[in-house]
Structure 1
Amino acid sequence: MAFRTDDGAVSGTSEGSEAATPPELRAQLLATEHWSLLASRSLAWQEAFARTGMYLATLSGSVVALALVAQADRFGHGFRLAAVVVLPVVLFVGVTTFVRLGASNYHDAMCVAGMNRIRHAYVELAPELAPLFVMSTYDDARGVGVTMGVPPGRSHVPHLLSATPFVVAVVNSVVAGSAAALAGGLLGLPDEVAVVVAVAGALASVAAHAWSAGRAIRKEQRSLHVLFPSPEISVSSPGRRP
């Protein structure tokens, strides 16, 4: 394949030059990229754990501080005022943590797709090694899911509910509901109405987190450029690799 530069000169390589690359060099380049993706994925996981730990530590410290204020004020007006000031800050940290976890998950999915492509290239270089790979060699959503521990043909709901972003979303919703109830108390609402406001705020927060996550997942899946789609699994060949 050739291309023309700005000065009009023709440069590039022929279409057969790729085939002239020694298999040993191709395997070395693929292995280097594979290790790079592994390191990048490890950093993404470390950041996700660090951000989640920072959020939970902030929440724990805020609860302890509010407990001390409650002991001094006996859950009076001063406690509610302090809680209304502190809880929105905690919620801000939680929402930004949720957003960052979504970005880390997207980065992780891209790394997995890249490693699946490299694994596919390994199989092309050495087809006899295909039965030895337990992870997928395809870079579509199903192949990425297999490598990330989501078996094909099963519901993704348990996987999503047990994921760290959903746990953070639930904690955020509890904080949002608590802040809404305390704000209602400061405005003079009865306790029964404040409880209803708290439940409504928590449910609205869960719905907002779920909608945001679903929208991001659908957008990321559409942006994924699939090079090696997973083959259809037929009933007559149950042993076919995913």
Structure 2
Amino acid sequence: MADASGPGPSPTPGDDGHPAAGLTDAQKSLRAQMLATEHWSLLASRSTTQSEVLTRIAIFLTLVSAGLVTLGVLGNATQFRGWFGVAALGVLLLLVLLGLITQQRTTNASLDDLMYVVAMNRLRGAYLDLDPGLAPYLISSADDDQAGSERTYYAFGARRGQILASSAMIISVVEGAVVGLFAGGVVLAVGGAIWLAITVGAAACVGSIVASMFIGYRGYRNLFELHEPLRTTRRG
């Protein structure tokens, strides 16, 4: 005979259909401890990811600032002639590559953060299975579907400009500006007119920003297409 205090097999729903209806108090307590441990692990992982990506963003912005200052110093030293064009393109190319790496890490971190939110929503659903009376005290969602994640992110409603003010958007704009400068510099280096360089640079800047937004949105959609939620948000 199995020990009643152990976790035991997964219970079958009781007459009321509740998943935890067949659990003893000891089993519920043990499950609550295990769920809380997993919850704290997800919180720590989320905090570490956010801290790391913010550090990466700060490094990139510092390098962009240093690169532009370097170009200014080189310009004064060479009177913007001779080897200045080659040096400028080299510095800008380096910043473009570093920006792409930082941008990719920021996108991955955003998707990781979404995964942590979905996972913690699922744990809240497990808490409610153990004690449905907790529902009125939870601001974040206990549903691990797309609507549930949006409720957790925007507990008091989505705010205008929230996406535009995000870290991913800041990196996209800065990277777009660097890409535009590099593209315009290439046009000038091959003998193109100023107006053509400005046009190509502006188009490259806008294209870079739009492409980064599309890639981020596609990753967001793919995540929920692959995810199978345990609890779905009730409509109406």
The CA deviation string for residues 85-122 of structure 1, in whole angstroms up to 9 with x for no partner, is: 11111111111111111111111111111111111121
Distance in 1 between residues matched to 2:145 and 2:192, nearest whole Å: 52
Alignment of 1:33-52 (within 5 A): 33-52=38-57
TM normalised by structure 2 equals: 0.86
- The CA deviation at 1:70 is 0.9
- The CA deviation at 1:174 is 0.5
Distance in 2 between residues matched to 1:144 and 1:73, nearest whole Å: 55
Counterpart position of 2:222: 219
Distance in 2 between residues matched to 1:150 and 1:179, nearest whole Å: 41
Cα gap change, 1:100/1:189 in structure 2, threshold over 3 Å: closer, same or farther? same
Matched, 1:139 2:144: yes
The CA deviation string for residues 168-197 of structure 1, in whole angstroms up to 9 with x for no partner, is: 111111101101111111111111111111
Alignment of 1:88-237 (within 5 A): 88-149=93-154, 158-232=161-235, 234=236
Matched, 1:53 2:58: yes
List 4+ stretches of structure 1 deviating above 3 A: 13-21
Counterpart position of 1:81: 86
Counterpart position of 2:77: 72
Distance in 1 between residues matched to 2:163 and 2:122, nearest whole Å: 25
* Structure 1: runs of 5 or more not aligned: 1-12, 235-242
TM normalised by structure 1 equals: 0.84
Give the secondary structure class of the aligned counterpart of 1:81.
helix
- The CA deviation at 1:212 is 1.6
Distance in 1 between residues matched to 2:98 and 2:169, nearest whole Å: 15
Residues 116 and 138, structure 1, Cα contact 8 Å, conserved in 2? yes
Cα gap change, 1:229/1:62 in structure 2, threshold over 3 Å: closer, same or farther? same
Distance in 1 between residues matched to 2:203 and 2:62, nearest whole Å: 26
- The CA deviation at 1:80 is 2.0
Residues 123 and 129, structure 1, Cα contact 8 Å, conserved in 2? yes
Distance in 2 between residues matched to 1:137 and 1:43, nearest whole Å: 23
Give the AA of the match of 1:125. L
Residues 145 and 151, structure 1, Cα contact 8 Å, conserved in 2? no
- The CA deviation at 1:32 is 0.5
Give the AA of the match of 1:213. G
RMSD: 2.0
Q: Indicate the percent of aligned positions where both proteins have the same amino acid.
A: 31
Counterpart position of 1:239: none
- The CA deviation at 1:166 is 1.5
- The CA deviation at 1:76 is 2.3
Residues 58 and 90, structure 1, Cα contact 8 Å, conserved in 2? yes
Residues 140 and 155, structure 2, Cα contact 8 Å, conserved in 1? no
